[in-house]
Amino acid sequence: MGRPSVQDQRRQEVLDAFMTCVATYGVEGATLEKIAAEAGLKRPLIRHHLGNREAMVLALGNHIAETLNQQSALLRESLGNPPSTRALIEVLFSTDHASDPRTNICYQSLSNSVALYPDLRQPLLSAMETLYQVAVDIVRAGHPTADAKICETVAHGIINLYVTTDAFVPLNPPESWASNSFLAAIRLAETLGAES
């Protein structure tokens, strides 16, 4: 496989700068001027690499969705066979494997912009569905005799605790927030009984 072209590399750099600007200023506040300054490029080059405003926003949405899908795949792979609910929770809340906080911030900003950019809805929704499904599969595997709907509810609760905790990272909250969310996820999993 060949090396990525300079064009592809520059596009990734511009996309990364756009991601930083959206995380800082929101979708509408991430102007071409701010993106160009962040990328260290002239404004016309931003459009050259990402296209018009709508194409830029959709490119970022697809990038965020792809990042989340990669994280979901890595999560599934990292938990072994058979995976355990406890291991899922430990990996999600581990400070050693913290994700880029811009990802969650951009996901939220882009979600809030779906009315303006309706084509964002499907990739963002699909990426979150994938993450939920990984958690559901892991919880069901660890509790094969538990009610499937209750397993799904517990899995959703665990992911919601993780996403909420991750959303607070830019605020530099007290450490107890993350540890309490971790313990809440453990307690929630314990409602299913011991794992098989």
The verdict on residue 105 lying in a domain is: yes
CATH number of the domain where residue 110 is located: 1.10.357
Q: Is 5 exposed, middle or buried (0-12, 13-18, 19+ CB in 10 A)?
A: exposed
Query: For 99-147, how does the pLDDT look when each residue is reduced to its tens digit (9 = 90+)?
Result: 788 898 999 999 999 999 999 999 999 999 999 999 999 999 999 999 9
Residue range of the domain that includes 114: 53-190
Same domain, 119 and 145: yes
Rounding to the nearest 10 degrees, give the CA dihedral for residues 47, 50, 53, 59. Answer: -170
CA nearest 79: which of 92, 89, 70, 88? Answer: 88
Same domain, 46 and 75: no
The verdict on residue 40 lying in a domain is: yes
Same domain, 182 and 88: yes
Residue type, 78: S
Same domain, 102 and 11: no
pTM here is 0.86
Same domain, 176 and 134: yes
Query: Which segments in the chain show pLDDT lower than 70?
Result: 1-4, 97-98
CA nearest 190: which of 84, 83, 94? Answer: 84
Same domain, 12 and 98: no
